[in-house]
Amino acid sequence: MQTYFNIRYEFDKELVGTRIAQQVTKKEADYICVADGVILNVANRNSNYLKIVNGGMFSICDSSYVPLYIRWIYGKRYEQYCGSQIFMDIIRSKKYRMIFMGTSQATLKGLQNNLLKENIDVKSMTFLELPYRTVEDFDYAGIAKEIEADNADIIWIALGAPKQEIFMSLLKPHLKRGVMIAVGAVFKFYSGTDTKRAPQWMIKWHLEFAHRIFKEPKKQIKRCSMILLTLPKLFMKEMICKHRKERYVE
């Protein structure tokens, strides 16, 4: 793991898979954050949320820009590992029993139908709609009982950031085992009934944010503007951090 911009990232995709497999065999519960620009922004504005993001196993880098920033500052090359990728990698691996939690029943139904094309075992897995309420008001003990009864290894959660990360941190003490992974809009992307992910050419050229703004202008313009306001200060802090590390090595 490496810490950049105050987030504990794991960039090694093979190691991500190994750590998940190891955690599933333990009689303990934990979670993984899928850190995009929104999480990076909110975590560096809210120390309590930063503790939650760094309180799990690690975060994977959902932002295509963070690897660019790291390359500019440190000269190191890392790759993005977005929520859509880890989601489909685990689905296609056919290694785990999973439960899918969040969004609407229509989205969950469309998601299940599409995932059956990738993994027939999904047919017997649970797709659970979560009620719309504040993150503090969920019945975490009750939700944990449903997960335990299902015997799920992987618990996919789609509530949107920062709500889903707080949800995982509050659910964790009630669970005996399993790995929770919060994947935001991924359920919508693969449901075939809602927002689709940007085309590959836009993803390649780091323009996925433009696609999201076009699809959800009111929501995404606000998010992007907050990220832009935070970024210069965050960038400068990381530059200072780099120089301190270099001096320490000397």
pLDDT in the model for residue 249: 46
**Distance in angstroms (rounded) separating the CA atoms of residues 74 and 82:** 22
DSSP state of 117: T
Span 117-144, pLDDT tens digits: 999 999 999 999 998 899 999 999 999 9
pLDDT-derived band at 250, boundaries 50, 70, 90: very low
- Residue 205 pLDDT: 46
Beta strand segments in 141-202, E:
154-158, 178-182
Contact of 182 with 168, CB cutoff 8 Å: yes
Taken as a whole, the chain contains a residue count of 250
Number of Cβ within a 10 Å radius of residue 210: 14
pLDDT of 185 > 90? The answer is no
pLDDT band with cut points at 50, 70 and 90 for residue 183? very high
Break the chain into its structural domains and give their ranges. Answer: 2-249
Distance CA 62, CA 84 (A): 9
Report whether 53 contacts 39 (CB < 8 A): yes
Name the percent of the chain in helix, strand, coil, to the closest 5: 55, 15, 30
> What percentage of the chain exceeds 90 in pLDDT?
67
Q: Is the pLDDT of residue 83 over 70?
A: yes
pLDDT tens, position by position, 189-238: 899 876 666 666 555 645 555 545 555 666 655 665 666 667 777 888 88
Q: Which residue from 111, 177, 187 is spatially nearest to 147, judged by alpha carbons?
A: 177
